A and B are shown apart, each in its own frame.
Chain A
């Protein structure tokens, strides 16, 4: 592998069988495998992040060929693990895949809420989904944050009414355990987790009562150089520090949560357009849902 400065000022990295130039044209002698191309692009973005980001600003295409506000395709499957779980689902946002399973237990309610059931969330981030999770510390940090987020959305944002989970008030309630397994991480992990948890819960038929869910969609946006980027992929998530995570209700468009942690300050109108962009994800979700309902 050799590396030298091109006369036009782009740095050129020459790997074994292909050359990548500064304006993203990849010419290859033999077609390399998909993994090799991605590794090369991630090397390029780590090697020269300033050029990568400035290319983002000038060109209208992002690294994976999307335009600024284009979202990744959404695929939702329900009821895939019928034997072992009460409810299950698989959510795919682009390449990010999260599997959810809901298991049931009957238990005693808490003292201050005798008529409400409980929902527990557990998130498993395996090294399978991303090599950074091979250390237990990295796994635990991120999985705890995700567990917290998914649980807050499920409980605080009227997704499931805990009163529905009551069997005998004060004595027996349903305790649902939502188990989320991340199979592949390409950005927007929290979104996929919430979606799959939601669908898995909707898939559950309790022997006594039926769990009704209000559907929410979550989306992660980025903000760089006064530009809003919809639905960040992993490479962008790692590069762009200003990130917005927004959850909206599918039917009413009400905001469930908006989290902006860190990064540069944003004016209200950018936040406004970010919330408006959630409409596209809502449409995707409703389309998927109608497709599933047509099939069943």
Chain B
């Protein structure tokens, strides 16, 4: 009942002239290339909905149980469903950083799911991190959204999340290169030596000045969620948002293809 779909590295935007002057990334991708996404819908047959989403070597398995009756009546909300998220790290016990991730996924899903259709119920979302090689927050959010879709729970839109990193290459030769004009030009002199990398791996995240995770709505292409940590100019954040919108379109095309394949597969089996 489960299906895997893979694709070659996706290049959502034509490479900008600035990114060509960067040293190559450890996995030979361009600055604006996503790792090949992999998606498996319904790998767990006991859960109401489940999905495994992976980008390169970052992989998350999400399961959704619900809408179900809550165990404690104090958790009931008359206006709509309550969403509970648990994130299990790939090794060790859950710490406060897992709590932060749970809060972020919960906020995203509470906004996306039509909660008012399921009053007095609880929707449990459990995410297990299988592998972590950068961009974990985005992978978690995408896996959780896919699992909710697989469970057949109504959503207002599909949130598509991408992660990015802002790096500043330490070599002096970078600054000697003539700065080429880009479509979103930044006037501050320091920003000419900082670059935006799409879908960073662990190594790149550790060396970055800032990491940004942006969730875009599939319906109106506006920003649903944004977490940026690290110093940057506001203009760089808006540049990152534009890049995220492009990447979200590519992800959406991939998800649509996956879900259509999956439903065709199911109807064939019947």
CB within 8 Å of B: which residues of A?
A: 141, 144-145, 147-149, 152-153, 156-158, 241-242, 249, 253-268, 271-272, 275
Contact = CB atoms under 8 A, between A and B. Distances in A.
B230 interface: yes
B224 interface: yes
17 contacts: A147-B96, A153-B229, A156-B229, A241-B110, A254-B232, A254-B234, A255-B228, A257-B227, A257-B228, A261-B103, A261-B104, A261-B108, A262-B111, A265-B157, A265-B216, A266-B222, A267-B223
B223 A262 contact: no
A268 B100 contact: no
A16 B255 CA distance: 58
Contacts of A242: 111
Nearest to A143: B96
B10 interface: no
Contact of A145 (B103, B157, B220, B226): B103
Interface in B214-240: 216-217, 219-220, 222-234, 236-238
A148 B96 contact: yes
Interface of B: 96-97, 99-100, 103-104, 106-108, 110-111, 157, 210, 216-217, 219-220, 222-234, 236-238, 241-242
A140 to B, nearest CB: 9
A86 to B, nearest CB: 24
Contacts of A147: 96
Given A145-B99, A153-B229, A268-B223, 17 more contacts: A149-B100, A156-B210, A156-B230, A157-B229, A157-B231, A241-B110, A254-B231, A255-B231, A257-B230, A260-B227, A262-B106, A262-B108, A263-B111, A263-B224, A265-B222, A266-B222, A268-B222
B225 A148 contact: no
Contacts of A268: 222-223, 238, 241-242
B193 to A, nearest CB: 15
Contacts of B228: 255, 257-259
Given A147-B96, A148-B100, A263-B111, A258 B237 contact: yes
Nearest to B236: A255
Contact of A265 (B96, B223, B238): B223
Given A262-B108, A265-B224, A255 B233 contact: yes
Contacts of B111: 241-242, 262-264
Contacts of B234: 253-255, 272, 275
Q: Which of A144, A262, A271 neighbours the largest number of chain B CB atoms within 10 Å of its CB?
A: A262
Contacts, number: 100
Contacts of A256: 229-231
Nearest to A152: B229
A71 to B, nearest CB: 18
A157 B216 CA distance: 25
Nearest to B227: A259
Nearest to B159: A265
Nearest to A153: B229
A261 B108 CA distance: 6
A258 B222 contact: no
Contacts of A265: 157, 216-217, 219-220, 222-224
A158 to B, nearest CB: 6
A257 B100 CA distance: 15
A242 B100 CA distance: 17
A149 B99 CA distance: 11
Contacts of A153: 229
Contacts of B103: 145, 261
B238 A144 contact: no
A255 B232 contact: yes
B85 to A, nearest CB: 12
A95 B211 CA distance: 33
Given A156-B229, A255-B228, A271-B238, A145 B96 contact: yes
Given A144-B99, A158-B231, A271 B107 contact: no
B223 A260 contact: yes
A257 B229 contact: yes
Contacts of A259: 226-228
B231 A271 contact: no
B8 to A, nearest CB: 30
B137 to A, nearest CB: 11
A255 B231 CA distance: 6
Contacts of B222: 265-268
A230 B80 CA distance: 28
